[in-house]
Amino acid sequence: MDIKISEVKLSEEQAGKWGLVIDQDICTGCQACVAACAMENNLSFVGEEDSGYGRSMHWIRIERFWEGEYPEVKMTPNQPMMCQQCGSAPCEPVCPVFATVHSEAEQLNLQVYNRCVGTRYCANNCPYQVRSFNWRDYERPEPLPNQLNPDVTVRRRGVMEKCTFCIQRIHQAQDQAKAEGREVVDGEFTTACAQACPASAIIFGRVDDPESLVSQLGRRSHGVKHLEELGTLPNVTYFKGG
Amino acid sequence: MSEKFSRRDFLKLAGVGAATTAVLTGCGPASRYVKREPYMQMPEYNYNGQSTYYATTCRECAAGCGLIVRTVQGRAIKTEGNVNNPLNLGKTCARGQATLHGLYNPDRVMDPLKRNSRGGESTEVMDWEAAIQVVADALKNNKPEEIAFLMGMAPDHLFDLATDFANATGINAPVRFGALGMFEARATLSKASENLFGEASLPFFDVGGAQVVFSFGANFLETWLSPVSYTRGFASLRESKTKQRGTFVQFESRMSQTGGKADEWIPLRPGSEALVALAIGRLASESRGGPMPRAFSSVDPLEAASKSGIKLETLEHLAEMFAGSNNALAIPGGAALGQSNGLAVAEAVLALNAISDNFGKPGGVYFSALAPNQAEYQGPASAKEMVELIQKMFDGKIKVLFVHGVNPLFELPTSLEFGGASKYVSQIISFATFPDETVREADYVFPDHHGLESWGYQRVTTGSAQPVLSGAQPVVSPYYNTRATADVLIAAAQLAGGIFAEALPFKDEVEFLQSKAASLMNAADGSISAADINTFMAYFQQHGGYWKLSDARGIPNAVDVLNRNFSAEEAQFEGEGEFFFVPFVSPTLAEAGANKPWLQELPDPTTTVMWNTWVEMNPETAHELGIENDDVVKIISEAGELEVPVYVYPAIRPDTIAMPFGQGHTAYGRYAEQRGVNPADLLGQHFNEAGDLAFAGMKVKIEKTGKKQPLSRLESMMGVYGIGLGEE
Amino acid sequence: MTESKIVDLLAVFPDLEPAADAIEHLRSIGVHDGCMNVISGIPVTEAMLGRPSQWTNVPRIALGGALLGFGAGFFLAFVAPYLYPYPIQVSTQSYVPGPPAVVVLFELTMLGMLLSTFLGVFLDSFFPNYRPMKYVPEVSDGKIAILVECPYGDEMKIIDALKKSGAESVRPAEAQHL
Amino acid sequence: MAEKKNHAEHAHGEEHLRKKHLMLDPLPRGQMNAMVMESMHTTSWKFWAVFGLLAAITAYGLFYSWGVMIAEGLGVAGVNRPAYWGIFLVNTVFWIGISHAGTFISAILRVFKAEFRRPFTRAAELMTTFGLVQAGFSIFMHMGRVWLSYWLMPYPNQRMLWPNLHSPLSWDLLAITTYLLSSTMYLFLPLIPDVAMARDRSTGWRKTFYKILALGFRGTEGEWTHLRNAMNIFAWAIIPVMFSVHTIVSWDFAAATRPGWNSTIFGPYFVVGALHSGMGAVIMVLAIVRGTMKNMKYFIRPEHFEAIGKLMLIISMTWAYFFFNDYMVQWYGGDKWTKQLLHFHEAGPMGWMWFVMLIFNVAIPWAVLWNRKWRSTPWIVFTVGLLINVGMWFERYIIIPISLSINRMPFTWRLYQPGIEIPLGIGTLAFFILLYMAASRLIPLIPVWEVQEGQMAHELKKYGRETVVTVSELE
């Protein structure tokens, strides 16, 4: 097999790279993305006790802080946090069984559920703290399982999971395009969170395509990539606006 | 962002994409129900791994957003917004997303049931023949005026059917009610509209087109009127690509999710909204120069400043901001209207718009477009009208009450005594899909299909420039032994015979829908048209409804607005406590979301609390009272008391406490029952001049209980509030 | 000597000195060093008894094991990553990461070396060995036993030499179950 | 000391020295053998009561609770986001730390020919092996899907999936396996002559047991030579393995991107920390063995506590040095998250733990161990050892779950509250003691041959009027 020791490519032009642009100025914090993600990706709900103990399974969460004190108090712009699909992900090398790896085709950070043995090292090493662990087999009483998306694996206890950029949708669109003998068109499909977002604060697309909406939006000034200083090469660009 | 590619274009493109990848399937003209077929005769779109997409309407609130539901092998998998529906343009809110957890909820009513004694657990399963006989007997054996329909807020086909039925038979006209309408104070909005513009319409505020938006209590990013559409408007207000970024100022005593997005958040004293609005009007008029309009001439800004607790400089600065823009918009709503002077607030705030003279202009105030088959705006019942119904029940004038789509025992304040009145009604028949509090007090429950299993349409009341009739069709075959309420009524009417049978001369629900849609078939300016009704209905289902292609928003006649006198009176507050009490609708749960586990697990947008109720309290107040986070306090109003854990909330007035409405169910399935408390239990019988409940017009007392109940929060108390990090 | 009989004796000495004397004595009467074996309860060095150095393979086996371990480490670190059906990329690290390879090489080399050292003891000493053997339990009480096993004409002469040197007892060595 | 000597003491100097030093107080080998054999055979009802109690705790705390956790998932433990690692890994590091003392004593002291080590090398090595067993238990408990733990092993499989050697956890697996195997072998090699001794004076099942263990060892010149060579190789080679193990354990943390963890000094800091708790544990074990087992007062004397106490003092100082080094650099770096973390360590809700750690690990050892008399007193050093172990456990607790509470995403900060970790942790402790108790009655705890060898090498020599101990190099 001809495998060369990979060169570290740091550029946005990495072929096949998907990314998100999030406009915090128009994000209203309405949680539609969170609900959409849960429905699309078969997330378990964990109940009051576990969710209050940092064990909720949200793949995307909306952070908000406070600035100042009453009456000059302000809520900081809502900040949806999900897996940033780092180009150089700290979670990947620490997994002893290759359960989380970099995908060359999509330039995403994959989580292989059936390979995961549950050391949780990846979650510790994730600077964004966006990984959820299945602490238990969470109950999903009949007939709720009817709703489960057949394109997404249902995870059992002891397995790490995280946002996938709805990779099942990426593949479906690619397969469809291939069957029709064309390229995937920008905007042809999107992630569950971006699709639901009533404010269209989340935009998804190919960052390697300079013509895509996500690239055009990403080129606006004042875009921020979180914790970029760690060299993680995140694929999500934030605009605080205001 | 380049000029040639706007977000709207992107959405359009996304729509085209959705149409190509997901071929929207309307049911063929002949098919009325999705059927499960044996594997051997599977329709081609039901092959393994193939998804089928159906357009329908979201029934989680009355807004009427269009949905596209992805189904795989007869199971509904995911809801998405219908890109073609002009109301929501492919977007949904969290509740729309979670509607599948209602469809496949383990606690639904699975069969028609007879309850052996009201309030009791024991029920008997009936068959549908017997159930229809019960309804027919109820119709036959009572005088028409002793029969009443209580329905949900949505102006849907069932409401039309009930209205036609009532008109033809002389039974009471159906009453539509919902807690959302109560907390939105819809009646106040339309009444103010009537007083100011001479037309009792629901105003529509073009947030997206405005440059400066002043909102007086309107929680338009949460549950107010049409959240998805208003959120889209907010996004274009902020969009900096095509124009300057719009400014948004929120006046409210407790920072709502909407207020959290404001550039300036003005915590005014509850009850002083009208005064502040008029004062801003005065200062803005001064800043613009010219003669002082009569509307604002009598108000004293200094008095407004002192009574509202806003600094005069702030008022002046805000007035200048308002006056400085030709595209300034003022919106009244929410708790500001739920006070004794709510109508005055609504009028004063609407009057502010006269300064920028934005009526009927982009970025201004319109009348909401009426749905295609609608003659005039029909608002849901106000709380006062509900009291009239309740009084009739008390008086024994109502012998049979049909309840559909609403849970009055939970949604109405306890003090209005719906529960007490229901004891005087000899027969209560509920058509609920879910065993809620009202079902428990009903003699029968004849479960309707879930919204995703049913036919129908729903008029879009507001939110879209175009008139929209959102269409619904079953996306899956009914999971349980349920039956469409329309079918039950039609069958019962046939069985009852006489005027009843004549009133509903339909074979079934679908025939009724067709009769209603027939007038749209070849109407001008329609999104679809067809030569025959079957084809038209197929298009109707396929596209998720029918809408006009042009803007049909009404233009308020605002000629006299500035020459009127406005009341600057402050609100009266009932009760003896030291705290203003502000109940607000939980943005994620709303009135009927508590039974859906994933909605329960969604963090509240402002507090990030999940699965429970809390009371918000200013840190300073909490410190003075010696109260910490998670301490359970007793809140005592003149109408009742309840115990609830405290969330020390940095963005609320020290003299105000606030509680979300949505939890506190005693029935409603395993995920809702015995969880949290219902602030409606604290509300008294006070109304504003428009008949809406003065839900934010009370003062309450707080007592410590010494108990603790940790709230389940997504946020970190350490990281967000620095609690538990140790002293610096 | 035409007829040589196999002398097979086991003498027990109370201490190091007499045992060393006896060995010298035996050597002086022509008993070859290779016919003698010393059994002791503590490690007495060859020098103490004036015996030739013992040959041991343990260090060589250890070295061999170390090489094997290094090979295993080399395989894991440098070969295995190329055996995957497809390349697995983690982060931006190369398929064969440098510093971690050092760790793997070190650990497996040490593991190989120590395992083979242990095995070396087994191989060199023919462990485990549960057959009957010539032994006296007094050895573990601190006595030193000398096992003489050689073709020699005069058995008495050897017994005499042993006794003279201070042996507590001299008896025919009999293999027994330990 | 010398200046305070009076004449009477001087006169009894020689006797005094003999009484003090095991190496100068030889007994006939046979008698020592008998003493050791007797100590193995003597069990009181108290022994069995404790043994039974520990067995019950092990059965419930370790095996039953683990079963529950495997069936229910890690939700029954206290781990959460962001403290994904909790007491399981605290215990893993703690037990690996304990295991370092055995190697330190029997390898480093052997290489440096520190003669006081002789009577308790085996007692310390047993701790190494049994401690590593507990570390293994703890690390397997920690896994979400322990039934798939064999996927960490490199083995050929049809999909050619090998473990990810980029991961410090893979290195951990290699290093801990290497260390467990080699320390077990290193425990076994010097044991062979002693089980041969036991074989020679046992009957019944014990005879069979020792016969199997002794492998047919007689004590021939060849056997001794091979053994000595092997032990020599082990003594040298196991030292770097020992260092590597705890260094790699430290890399689990240091290689991560987390504030407070990403520190280059973690390797030696952890090694010294391991020795710190290990020596504390050794001294506790020796005090208990001396106090409860028959004839042990002869073999284990105040001089040994004194010597280990001295080592403990030095290690405590070294630990303090590394701790301060780490703290200073982290503090000075000024990264806001690290500063927040350091503040949280000291002033957060678990801040008391940070101070207790420093008191137990530094203040108390320094205050007590400088005094020769105190550090020769078994109960005092026992107490100090206990406190050091508590302090070192706290140190790992601070490094793992408490540090995990603080990260770069303040929205997720959250405290860790242990759940089933507590019975499981107590279970490993009980199992450790249980194994040790069983071993103390099954294998000779004192390497008699090594003691005798040492006693041969030691003698008193007079220099002028001073009598001193001299030791000759026998090898």
- Provide the token pair at D117: 């080590």
DSSP letter string, D402-438: IHHT--S-GGG------STHHHHHHHHHHHHHHHHHH
Per-residue pLDDT, C73: 94
Q: Could you tell me the pLDDT band of residue B691, with boundaries at 50, 70 and 90?
A: very high
- Same domain, yes or no: B328 and B396: no
Q: Least CA distance to B605: which residue of chain A? A: A29
pLDDT tens, residue by residue, B503-555: 999 999 999 999 999 999 988 899 999 988 999 999 999 999 999 999 999 99
| Calpha distance D235→B374 (Å, rounded) | 94
Of residues B124 and C31, more confidence is placed in B124
- Same domain, yes or no: B616 and B604: yes
B230 pLDDT more than 60: yes
- Give the end of a domain, one of C124, C141, C157: C124
Would an 8 Å CB–CB cutoff place D52 in contact with chain C? no
The torsion defined by the Cα of C156, C157, C161 and C167, in degrees rounded to 10, comes to: -10
Asked, for residue B2, whether it belongs to a domain, the answer is: no
Asked if A198 and B232 come within 8 Å (Cβ–Cβ), the reply is yes
- Provide the token pair at B375: 């003659």
Asked if C90 and A101 come within 8 Å (Cβ–Cβ), the reply is yes
Asked if C54 and D474 come within 8 Å (Cβ–Cβ), the reply is no
132-191 in A: which are within 8 Å (CB) of C?
none
Would an 8 Å CB–CB cutoff place D56 in contact with chain B? no
| φ and ψ of B310, to 5 deg | -100, 140
pLDDT tens, residue by residue, B462-477: 999 999 999 999 999 9
3-class DSSP assignment, residue B715 = coil
CB pairs below 8 Å between A and B: how many? Answer: 231
D79, D73, D137: which is closest to D430 by C-alpha?
D137
Which positions ≥6 away from B293 have C-beta within 8 Å? B281, B285, B354, B562, B563
- Same domain, yes or no: C50 and C73: no
DSSP letter string, B11-33: HHHHHHHHHHHS-B-PPPTT--S
| φ and ψ of B470, to 5 deg | -75, 130
Distances (CA, A) of D220 to C24, C42, D227, D474: 18, 10, 11, 18
Residues of C in contact with A233 (CB under 8 A): 92
Q: Could you tell me the pLDDT band of residue B46, with boundaries at 50, 70 and 90?
A: low
Hey, which chains touch D, using 3+ CB pairs under 8 Å?
A, B, C
Asked, for residue B514, whether it belongs to a domain, the answer is: yes
Are D and C neighbours with ≥3 CB pairs closer than 8 A?
Answer: yes
DSSP letter string, B173-231: PPEE--HHHHHHTHHHHHHHHHHHHS----EEE-GGG-SEEEEES--TTTTSS-HHHHH
* Burial of residue A29, with CB atoms counted within 10 A of its CB: 0-12 exposed, 13-18 middle, 19 or more buried: buried
| Calpha distance D322→D320 (Å, rounded) | 5
Would an 8 Å CB–CB cutoff place A95 in contact with chain C? yes
- Same domain, yes or no: B342 and B236: yes
Q: For residue B336, what is the domain's CATH number?
A: 3.40.228.10
- Same domain, yes or no: B338 and B213: yes
User: In angstroms, what separates the C-alpha of B237 from chain D's closest C-alpha?
Assistant: 28
- The mean predicted confidence, pLDDT, of chain C is 86
- Same domain, yes or no: B219 and B342: yes
Q: Are B558 and B358 in contact (CB under 8 A)?
A: no
| Calpha distance D185→C111 (Å, rounded) | 11
Q: Are B686 and B340 in contact (CB under 8 A)?
A: yes
Hey, which chains touch B, using 3+ CB pairs under 8 Å?
A, D
Per-residue pLDDT, B176: 95
In a mutational test of the B interface, the residue from D413, D415, D417 whose CB has the highest number of chain B CBs within 10 Å is D413
Report all structural domains of chain A as residue ranges with CATH numbers, in order of start. 18-239 (3.30.70.20)
Mean pLDDT across B303-307? 94
Residues of D in contact with A159 (CB under 8 A): 144-145
* Burial of residue D17, with CB atoms counted within 10 A of its CB: 0-12 exposed, 13-18 middle, 19 or more buried: middle
Per-residue pLDDT, C70: 96
B695, B650, B209, B112: which is closest to B429 by C-alpha?
B112
Q: Could you tell me the pLDDT band of residue B30, with boundaries at 50, 70 and 90?
A: very low
What's the total number of domains in chain B? 4
Per-residue pLDDT, C65: 94
- Give the end of a domain, one of C124, C142, C157: C124
3-class DSSP assignment, residue B560 = coil
Mean pLDDT across A68-89? 93
Is the link from the previous residue into A71 a cis peptide, with omega within 30 of 0?
Answer: yes
- The mean predicted confidence, pLDDT, of chain D is 91
DSSP letter string, D57-107: HIIIIIIIHHHHHHHH-GGGSS--SS--S-HHHHHHHHHHHHHHHHHIIII
Asked if B263 and A242 come within 8 Å (Cβ–Cβ), the reply is yes
Asked if B221 and A30 come within 8 Å (Cβ–Cβ), the reply is yes
Q: For residue C167, what is the domain's CATH number?
A: 3.30.70.260
| Calpha distance B529→B395 (Å, rounded) | 50
Planar angle of CA C92, C94, C96, nearest 5 degrees:
150
Would an 8 Å CB–CB cutoff place D346 in contact with chain B? yes
- Domain span at C65: 58-124
CB pairs below 8 Å between B and D: how many? Answer: 38
Asked, for residue B526, whether it belongs to a domain, the answer is: no
B270 pLDDT more than 60: yes
Are B and C neighbours with ≥3 CB pairs closer than 8 A?
Answer: no
- Same domain, yes or no: B617 and B684: yes
The alpha carbon of D276 is separated from its chain's Cα centroid by a whole number of angstroms, namely: 9
Of the given ranges (C59-73, D86-100, D146-160, D349-363), which has the lowest mean pLDDT?
A: D146-160
Q: Least CA distance to D201: which residue of chain C? A: C137
Question: How many residues can be counted in chain C?
Answer: 178
- The mean predicted confidence, pLDDT, of chain B is 90
- Whose tokens are 């050092």? That residue is C102
* Domain edges within chain D: 33-471
D139 pLDDT more than 90: yes
A12 pLDDT more than 80: no
pLDDT tens, residue by residue, C105-139: 999 999 999 999 999 999 988 889 888 888 888 88
A76 pLDDT more than 90: yes
Q: Could you tell me the pLDDT band of residue B51, with boundaries at 50, 70 and 90?
A: confident
Write the ipTM.
0.91
| Calpha distance B251→B266 (Å, rounded) | 5
Are B and A neighbours with ≥3 CB pairs closer than 8 A?
Answer: yes
Asked, for residue B553, whether it belongs to a domain, the answer is: no
Of A34, A75, A241, the CB nearest to B94: A34
The β-bridge partners of A111 are A100
Would an 8 Å CB–CB cutoff place B716 in contact with chain D? yes
Would an 8 Å CB–CB cutoff place B728 in contact with chain D? yes
Per-residue pLDDT, D124: 92
- Same domain, yes or no: C48 and C75: no
What's the total number of domains in chain C? 2
Asked if C51 and D221 come within 8 Å (Cβ–Cβ), the reply is yes
- Same domain, yes or no: B364 and B391: no
Per-residue pLDDT, D17: 83
DSSP letter string, A83-152: ----TT-TTTTT-TT--EEE-TTT--EEE-GGG-----HHHHH-TT---EE--S-----TTGGGG--TTS
Q: Could you tell me the pLDDT band of residue D15, with boundaries at 50, 70 and 90?
A: confident
User: In angstroms, what separates the C-alpha of C116 from chain A's closest C-alpha?
Assistant: 27
Per-residue pLDDT, D160: 83
- Whose tokens are 């006790």? That residue is A49
User: In angstroms, what separates the C-alpha of C116 from chain D's closest C-alpha?
Assistant: 10
pLDDT tens, residue by residue, B141-176: 999 999 999 999 999 999 999 999 999 999 999 999
D1 pLDDT more than 50: no
- Whose tokens are 């029935």? That residue is B667
The torsion defined by the Cα of D278, D279, D282 and D288, in degrees rounded to 10, comes to: -120
Chain D contacts to A (CB-CB under 8 A): 72-76, 79-85, 142-146, 148-149, 151-152, 161, 163-164, 166-170, 173, 252, 255-258, 404, 407-412, 414, 417
Of A117, A133, A136, the CB nearest to D72: A136
Chain C contacts to A (CB-CB under 8 A): 81-83, 87-97
Q: Where are the beta strands (DSSP E) in chain C?
A: 5-13, 36-40, 133-134, 144-152, 169-172, 175-176
Mean pLDDT across D307-319? 94
Per-residue pLDDT, C105: 95
Would an 8 Å CB–CB cutoff place D30 in contact with chain C? yes
3-class DSSP assignment, residue D461 = strand
Distances (CA, A) of B207 to A149, B216, B331: 36, 14, 9
Q: Least CA distance to D412: which residue of chain B? A: B716
Q: Where are the beta strands (DSSP E) in D171-330?
A: none
- Same domain, yes or no: C44 and C70: no
User: In angstroms, what separates the C-alpha of D240 from chain C's closest C-alpha?
Assistant: 9
| Calpha distance D168→D45 (Å, rounded) | 47
Which positions ≥6 away from B564 have C-beta within 8 Å? B196, B294, B295, B351
B60, B66, B49: which is closest to B96 by C-alpha?
B60
pLDDT tens, residue by residue, D435-460: 999 999 999 999 999 898 888 888 88
Helices B273-288 and B342-356, axial angle in degrees (round to 10): 20
Q: Could you tell me the pLDDT band of residue B728, with boundaries at 50, 70 and 90?
A: low
C103, C55, C51: which is closest to C76 by C-alpha?
C103
Asked if D348 and B726 come within 8 Å (Cβ–Cβ), the reply is yes
Q: Could you tell me the pLDDT band of residue C149, with boundaries at 50, 70 and 90?
A: confident
Q: Are B547 and B372 in contact (CB under 8 A)?
A: yes
Asked, for residue B568, whether it belongs to a domain, the answer is: no
- Same domain, yes or no: C69 and C108: yes
Of residues B306 and D11, more confidence is placed in B306
Per-residue pLDDT, D2: 47
Residues of B in contact with A71 (CB under 8 A): 267, 653
Would an 8 Å CB–CB cutoff place A225 in contact with chain D? no
pLDDT tens, residue by residue, A141-158: 989 999 999 999 999 999
pLDDT tens, residue by residue, B603-634: 999 999 999 999 999 999 999 999 999 999 99
- Domain span at B165: 126-178+380-448+483-520
Q: Percentage of residues in chain B with pLDDT exceeding 70?
A: 93
Residues of A in contact with C80 (CB under 8 A): none
Per-residue pLDDT, B528: 93
Q: Percentage of residues in chain D with pLDDT exceeding 90?
A: 74
Q: Could you tell me the pLDDT band of residue B28, with boundaries at 50, 70 and 90?
A: very low
Helix residue spans in B497-573 (DSSP H): 498-503, 509-517, 533-543
387-426 in D: which are within 8 Å (CB) of B?
405-406, 409-415
- Same domain, yes or no: C50 and C136: yes
Would an 8 Å CB–CB cutoff place A11 in contact with chain C? no
Report the CATH superfamily, name and number, of domain D33-471: Formate dehydrogenase/DMSO reductase domain (1.20.1630.10)
The β-bridge partners of B509 are none
Residues of D in contact with C84 (CB under 8 A): 160-162
Mean pLDDT across D148-155? 92
